[in-house]
Structure 1
């Protein structure tokens, strides 16, 4: 885990992303998706660094997907450091962020609360 890469504006875990060799994060100026990323544009226009800092609980852009939405909700409740701690602990226990392509163990959920509990406990 590259903890220093932290969490993306939308809630995705840059710190665990298999793309972090070529991507240096939302604010690096090198993000290949910076021109179209709705969450990046919106948070910049609101002068905030992350969607979890916003008072709206929207589902636009990548927040329409369960993983970034659940990660964002997790940070709202418990804080970014807690999310990073849980992700690191889970990784050490064998939970995989990306297995093939962009799917991993956090992608097998259809309920936000169940995924938040999985992040928190590392147990299904």
Structure 2
């Protein structure tokens, strides 16, 4: 885990991303507009956060948001909601602990263990505990 890369503006975990080893994270140096994500120029979520002067969606009220990735992706919504509720450092602590326990962020391409959920609260619980709970 590259903890120093932190959490992306949208909520995704730059710190665990294996897509680009040269990546510096999408919010390096705080509010500066530095992003190495290949989709940065097109990312509606990122544009919204920058327009609002926020560090990330976790500083906003994401419940009904459907901008960019939030239109159909549960993982960034769950990560941002976790950070909103418990703080970015707590999210990073959980992700680091989960990685050490064998939970994989990217297994095949950009899909991994956090992508196996269709319920926001179940994914938030998985982030917190590292365990899948049956209904």
Q: How many residues get paired?
A: 124
Offset of residue 23 of structure 1:
2.4
Task: Name the TM-score, length of structure 2 as normaliser.
Answer: 0.86
Q: Deviations over 1:21-45 (max 9, x none)?
A: 1322223343321210001111111
SS at structure 2 position matched to 1:75: helix
Structure 1 residues not aligned, in runs of 5+: none
RMSD: 1.3
Relative to structure 1, is the Cα distance of residues 56 and 16 closer, same or farther in structure 2, using a 3 angstrom cutoff? closer
Relative to structure 1, is the Cα distance of residues 34 and 118 closer, same or farther in structure 2, using a 3 angstrom cutoff? same
Match of 2:103 among 79, 92, 95: 95
2:11 is aligned with 1:2: no
Higher deviation after alignment, 90-99 or 21-30: 21-30
Offset of residue 63 of structure 1:
1.9
Corresponding position of 1:70: 78
